[in-house]
Amino acid sequence: MHQKTQLGKIAEIQAGLVTKTAGEGNAVPVVTMASLAGMRAGSLSSADLPLVGEDAAMQENLYKLRDGDVLVPSRTTEDYLEPAFVMGTGVEGRVFNATLLRVRGDERCVDQWWLYGYLGSDVGKAKMLQGSQSGTSQLSLSAKSLALMEVEVPPMNVQVKIGRLIKSAHDAQRNAIEAAELRLRLAYAAAFQDDRNF
């Protein structure tokens, strides 16, 4: 039987850090909304992250990502409301900025892969859209609106089964993208390094 509850009761939700432009001092890489596509594709590296000015608050664990976190864009459009999962993406331990909201499920009652799948599903996205604080096409999500979002949570054994399906599909998608990128690189090499075969 599914249990109706608010997301904030089964997950910790944190808004990202407001960052400043990198100046002459130390600059550090930070995860932004622009990083999400690379995370989903599995092609993001630390070198891809934008640099911002160092801030003392960056040392706080509050703003550091870890495996199992789900990142949701705080300001986007309906078409780009796509969460990303922090799992083997190379951003673990990095700071995330104010363009993102971090959802960290309570592992005692939530399977992390199920939570990621739920937030990325049509059902989850519709619930997030309902909590948007903007009357325009530009959505504005807050930690508070996400925390108040009503979620139907199945028993843990069901979550785990669904989570395995989500993980399997996620891995298959990432592998397909990597294979397609490899084929493209090989095609470029064949076509432009030695075109005698044409």
The pLDDT tens digits for 6-58 are 999 999 999 988 887 766 557 778 888 888 877 776 667 666 787 777 776 66
Q: How many other C-beta atoms lie within 10 A of the C-beta of residue 40?
A: 19
At how many degrees (to 10) do helices 112-120 and 122-130 cross? 70
**Does residue 60 surpass a pLDDT of 80?**
no
| Calpha distance 34→27 (Å, rounded) | 18
| Calpha distance 48→5 (Å, rounded) | 38
pLDDT score for 135: 59
Q: Which residues contact 144 (CB under 8 A, 6 or more apart)?
A: none
Residue that is written with structure tokens 């959802």 in the block = 103
Provide the CA 41 distance to its chain's centre, in angstroms: 11
CATH topology of domain 3-197: Adenine-n6-DNA-methyltransferase TaqI; Chain A, domain 2 (3.90.220)
Mean pLDDT of 57-70: 82
| Helix, coil or strand: residue 76 | strand
pLDDT score for 134: 60
- pTM for the structure as a whole: 0.81
Which residue type, as a one-letter code, is found at position 30?
V
Bridge partner list, 13:
103
Q: Computed from CA positions of residues 32, 49, 107, 169, in that sequence, does the dihedral angle turn out positive or negative?
A: positive
Domain definitions of the chain by residue range: 3-197
Residue 62 tokens read as 């509050």
pLDDT tens, position by position, 84-94: 888 776 788 88
